[in-house]
Structure 1
Amino acid sequence: MNKKVILQDLGLKDYKETWDYQEELFQEIVDQKIQNRRNGTQEPTQNHFLFVEHPHVYTLGKSGNMDNLLVNEAQLKAKEASFYKINRGGDITYHGPGQIVGYPILDLDNFFTDIHKYLRLLEEMVILTLAEYGLKCERSEGETGVWLDVGTPFARKICAMGVRASRWVTMHGFALNINANLGYFDLMIPCGIKDKAVTSLNVELGQKTVDMDEVKGKLLKHFEHLFEAELSQAKVVS
C-alpha cells in the first residue's frame, strides 16, 4: 500500500485544462491497476493531490438539474464565466478566484475502500482547518459539504464537495471559499439547495482577505493525519 501522495499547486488554471489533467492522472492509476491484475504483479499505484484556482466557471454533475443555472449563455459571457457538464456526483457548483479547489486523485486501495468514509474524511479535513480560525463548522445531514449554523435559518455552506470514483480511484474533490466573490453564487441554485446561503472565510472572519497559502498548509496537515498519508511536493505543471 503506497500512502505517498504527490502534491501539486497549479495556481490559476483553466477548468477544462485541469479536468483533462485530472483524467490523465486518473487513467494512469487505473491502467496500472488493470496491468497488475492481468499480470499478477503488485507494482505500486501513485496518488496525487492537486490545488488549483479556476477562472469563473459553473460545473454541473451527472445528477444535476440544468434549471439550477439561472443565467443564459450570453449572461455567462458577460460575467466572463464558462460552463461545463462533468462526470462527478452532485448538482451545480461554482468555482472562481479566491476559492481553494482541491482534487485528491487517490487509489483508495492504498488507504481504505469506502467512498462514504472518504467523503467524511474530506469534510473532517475542512472542519478541522476552519476550527483553527475559530469557526464551528459541521456536516448537514443528507447534504455533502461543510456548513455553519446547521439547523437554523442562518445555515450557510462554506465548502462544496463532489467526487467521482472508479476501480477505487478518486477524482474531482472540494471547493473551499476563502476570499470568494459571493455574487457569482447568485447566478445559480448552489448544489440545487434553494433555502440555504453560501459564505466565505473572509466574510466569516470580517477580514478583507485571508492568506490562502496559510489555509492550504492547514488543510494538508489535517489531510496527512486523517489519511495517514505522506505528502511530497512535485514540480508545478505549466
Structure 2
Amino acid sequence: MNSGVLPPIRVRQLGRVDYRPTWQAMNDFSAARNGDTPDELWCCEHPPTYTLGQAGKPEHRLHDNGIALIQIDRGGQITYHGPGQVVIYLLVDLNRRHLKVKDFVWRIEQAIIDLLAEHGLVSRRVDGAPGVYVDRNDGTVAKIAALGLRIRRGCSTHGLSLNVDMDLLPFSAINPCGYAGMAVTQTRDLGLALQPADAAAALAGELVKQLEKA
C-alpha cells in the first residue's frame, strides 16, 4: 500500500453455509487479492462435515457414520464441523502485518482464550497441539477450539472452530486433530450462556484486537 496505512479488517457474517463453496470462495479471494485488499474474517457455521488436512491420515476416521469427508488444503489432521460450532476463516496478509506464522497462531489462540475469560472460563494452550483447551473437574483436558491454516505467498486461508452449542457425538467417530482419545467440549456444557451468532461476533472482535496489535 502506498500510504503505509492498513485498511480496516472486514468482518463478514455468512450464516450457515455449505463447506465446499465456502472453501472455493476463500481460494478465489486469496488468488485475487493484492497489496491493497483489506484482510477479512468470515464467520459461519457448516452443516455436518469432516475435513481432512492435506497431510492428514484417513485412518483417523474411525468409522463411517454417513457424514461427508472432504480432503482439503489446510494443515492438520481430521476435524468435524457442524451446526452450533463457530467457524471463523482468517483471510490475512501476514507479510503486510509483519506477522510470523507462530505469532499469528498465538494471536488466534489468545483471542479465543480472552473471549472465554470474559465469560469466566479459564482455558489454555497445550504444547505441541494447536488449539485451545480446558481442564475439567475430573482432571482430564478437553479441546474446545481447533485451528487449521494454509499460508500461501504470505497470506492465510482457513482458520478456527469454537464449539459452542452443538452435537458433539460426531467427534467420537474420529481422532480429533489426529489425537486418539482426545476429549472435546463446548461452551454450553461448561455453563456459558452463549449463542453461536453472539460468540462469533464477539470472537471476531477479539481477533481484530489481536491482529491490529503492533
TM-score of the superposed pair, with normalisation by structure 2: 0.91
1:9–1:51 contact (8 Å) kept in structure 2: yes
Say whether residues 1:188 and 2:174 are aligned partners: yes
Say whether residues 1:228 and 2:212 are aligned partners: yes
How far residue 201 of structure 1 moved from its aligned partner, in angstroms, is: 0.4
1:154–1:196 contact (8 Å) kept in structure 2: no
Letter in 2 for 1:59: T
How far residue 112 of structure 1 moved from its aligned partner, in angstroms, is: 1.9
Structure 1 residue aligned with 2:162: 176
Structure 2 residue aligned with 1:22: 26
- 3-state SS in 2 of match to 1:117: helix
Aligned residues with identical type, % of pairs: 31
Letter in 2 for 1:159: A
Structure 2 residue aligned with 1:7: 11
Question: How many residues are matched?
Answer: 208
- 3-state SS in 2 of match to 1:108: coil
Letter in 2 for 1:98: G
Structure 2 residue aligned with 1:214: 198
Structure 2 residue aligned with 1:199: 185
How far residue 113 of structure 1 moved from its aligned partner, in angstroms, is: 3.1
Letter in 1 for 2:174: M
Query: Which whole-Å CA distance do the structure 2 matches of 1:121 and 1:60 have between them?
Result: 24
Query: Which whole-Å CA distance do the structure 1 matches of 2:40 and 2:205 have between them?
Result: 15
Match of 1:84 among 70, 73, 76: 70
Query: Which whole-Å CA distance do the structure 2 matches of 1:22 and 1:128 have between them?
Result: 26
Deviates more, 1:8-17 or 1:141-150: 141-150
Query: Which whole-Å CA distance do the structure 2 matches of 1:139 and 1:169 have between them?
Result: 24
How far residue 96 of structure 1 moved from its aligned partner, in angstroms, is: 0.3
Query: Which whole-Å CA distance do the structure 1 matches of 2:201 and 2:49 have between them?
Result: 25
Match of 1:45 among 37, 49, 55: 37
When residues 163 and 206 of structure 1 are mapped into structure 2, their CA distance, relative to the original with a 3 A threshold, is closer
Match of 1:149 among 116, 135, 139: 135
* Structure 2 residue ranges without an equivalent (≥5): none
Give the alignment of 1:40-189 within 5 angstroms: 44-72=36-64, 75-76=65-66, 81-149=67-135, 153-189=139-175
1:113–1:168 contact (8 Å) kept in structure 2: no
Structure 1 stretches (4+) deviating beyond 3 angstroms?
none
Question: What is the CA RMSD across the aligned residues, in angstroms?
Answer: 1.7
Letter in 2 for 1:202: R
Query: Which whole-Å CA distance do the structure 1 matches of 2:106 and 2:210 have between them?
Result: 10
How far residue 118 of structure 1 moved from its aligned partner, in angstroms, is: 0.4
How far residue 219 of structure 1 moved from its aligned partner, in angstroms, is: 1.1
- Structure with greater proportional helix content: 1
2:11–2:204 contact (8 Å) kept in structure 1: no
When residues 124 and 178 of structure 1 are mapped into structure 2, their CA distance, relative to the original with a 3 A threshold, is same
How far residue 62 of structure 1 moved from its aligned partner, in angstroms, is: 1.6
1:180-202: CA deviation from partner (whole Å, max 9, x where unpaired): 21101011110111132000100
2:119–2:192 contact (8 Å) kept in structure 1: no
1:5-34: CA deviation from partner (whole Å, max 9, x where unpaired): 2221111100001001111111112xx3xx
How far residue 226 of structure 1 moved from its aligned partner, in angstroms, is: 1.3
1:157–1:199 contact (8 Å) kept in structure 2: yes
